[in-house]
Amino acid sequence: MTIQNQSFLAYVDFFSEDQFQVIGEYGDRKLLLIGRAKAYREPIVAISESDKPNQENLIAYDLYELMKFGCHRVTLTSEIWSNDESKLLS
């Protein structure tokens, strides 16, 4: 799996592939949590086109920008914030 625009996002802490988590849907596609912005910890996501995201070339998006400007509805099915800093979603 490759994040195509990763080199342009120096302000993001990307998770390892085994930590990517499905957190919802973007239209009829899966929405994956793939990292967090370093400063304010905003969620960074990717849209999976298939059931095997580890075989796709993904593009990273700021979740809030995708929600504001995307052309499909974002539906969150998992919690994206946690009070426990040791957890993946912290």
What are the mean pLDDT values of the chain's consecutive 10-residue runs (90 residues total)?
A: 86 91 94 93 92 82 94 90 51
In a domain, 23, yes or no: yes
Q: How far apart are CA 15 and CA 75, in angstroms?
A: 21
pLDDT confidence of residue 82: 63
Q: How far apart are CA 87 and CA 6, in angstroms?
A: 23
pLDDT confidence of residue 1: 66
In a domain, 66, yes or no: yes
pLDDT confidence of residue 80: 80
Domain count, the chain: 1
Q: Which domain holds residue 54?
A: 2-76
In a domain, 59, yes or no: yes
